[in-house]
Amino acid sequence: MAPRTPRLVVPIDVKKKPWEQKLPLHNRWHPHIPPVADVKEGELFRVEMMDWTGGCVGDNDSAADIKFLDLTITHYLSGPLRVLDTKGVPAKAGDLLAVEICNLGPLPGDEWGYTATFDRENGGGFLTDHFPSATKAIWYFEGIFAYSPHIPGVRFPGLTHPGIVGTAPSPKLLSIWNEREKKLAEGGAGSLTLCEVLHQRPLANLPTVKNCLLGLIEEGTPEWERIANEAARTIPGRENGGNCDIKNLSRGSKVYLPVFVDGANLSTGDMHFSQGDGEVSFCGAIEMSGFLELK
């Protein structure tokens, strides 16, 4: 019998905005963002994703889109997905969710990506004092290889991976995050030597309604207002997994994630064609749209 074809559970049209997708994306963590689809234990399924900016960065020679990028948009994620066992019973809080990456890659017809350094006054990075201005390099993909017209003479095989894989927090865990990060933000950048140098980098990004996208929840409703004011940003990795940027989390890998809410509410995004050991410039991976085939 021929191998099973992965079931497409989250389709993406890169010509549309994140909120215009058939299944709207989200860019916050919250237990009450409803799942957009169900997946079953042992099922092979496919999730498609926009790049982390939702298409704000263009395939061109200008770094203006990086320089003026509004970082409150980060990161646009596909999902959440409610995970069911073989009998159709949702995963329960306290379970351990095993997610296997069976296949992944760029979306067909959108085989390009970019690396960048943020401007000192808008995001910066760990090397901001050496590279204070916004820059961008476009990369084109040829199978497993990438090359850039902006970095002549370089062509290398990438190790494609998702930057973000995570489950939804419980209300209690979300409260812990917000309290912890509020204290960090109130501590002030001057309390740490690193941040005296990288003064433009906040120590924490607290909830904000600006550019908040909550999937199936309609903007402007009382429910949206409540959740938008509580929902955690997707920038740091946390107890739920999230923005871990692990380059070896690629084809054939398996990640184990804790379950905090019924159904787990699994989300993915921030696809990278390749990356080093971390993102020193904060946009140091080759960012792209892409797909994951998971089990």
pLDDT at 257 over 80: yes
Give the pLDDT of residue 1.
75
Tokens linked to 155: 């062509």
Is the model more confident about 85 or about 203? 85
Tokens linked to 166: 């995570």
**Residue 210, domain member (yes or no):** yes
pLDDT tens readout for residues 9-61 = 999 999 999 999 999 999 999 999 999 999 999 999 999 999 999 999 999 99
Question: Could you tell me the residue range of the domain that residue 209 belongs to?
Answer: 12-54+63-113+125-136+157-272+285-294
The reported pTM is 0.94
Give the pLDDT of residue 193.
45
Give the pLDDT of residue 201.
62
> What span, in angstroms and rounded, lies between the C-alpha atoms of 50 and 259?
25
- Label residue 185 exposed, middle or buried (CB < 10 Å: 0-12, 13-18, 19+): middle
Task: Give the mean model confidence (pLDDT) for residues 244-262.
Answer: 97
pLDDT at 180 over 50: yes
**Residue 231, domain member (yes or no):** yes
pLDDT tens readout for residues 73-89 = 999 999 999 999 999 99
CB 208 within 8 A of CB 222: no
Give the pLDDT of residue 240.
98
Residue given tokens 């006054």 in the structure block = 121
**Residue 143, domain member (yes or no):** no
Report strand pairing: 290-294 vs 45-49: antiparallel
Q: For the chain, give the mean pLDDT.
A: 93
Neighbours of 151 (CB within 10 A): 12
**Residue 2, domain member (yes or no):** no
Task: Tell me the torsion sign for CA atoms 284, 124, 179, 187.
Answer: positive
Residues 6+ apart with CB under 8 A from 19: 25, 213
**Residue 33, domain member (yes or no):** yes
Neighbours of 188 (CB within 10 A): 10
**Which CATH number fits the domain that encloses residue 38?**
2.60.120.580
**Residue 277, domain member (yes or no):** no
Cross-strand pairs, 117: 135
> Based on the structure, what is the number of domains in the chain?
1
pLDDT tens readout for residues 147-178 = 999 999 999 999 999 999 999 999 999 999 99
Instruction: Output DSSP code: residue 199.
Output: T
Alpha helices in the chain (DSSP H): 64-67, 171-187, 193-197, 222-230
**Residue 289, domain member (yes or no):** yes
**Residue 142, domain member (yes or no):** no
Instruction: Output DSSP code: residue 86.
Output: T
pLDDT tens readout for residues 96-148 = 999 999 999 999 999 999 999 999 888 887 788 888 999 999 999 999 999 99
Q: Indicate the residue type of 190.
A: G
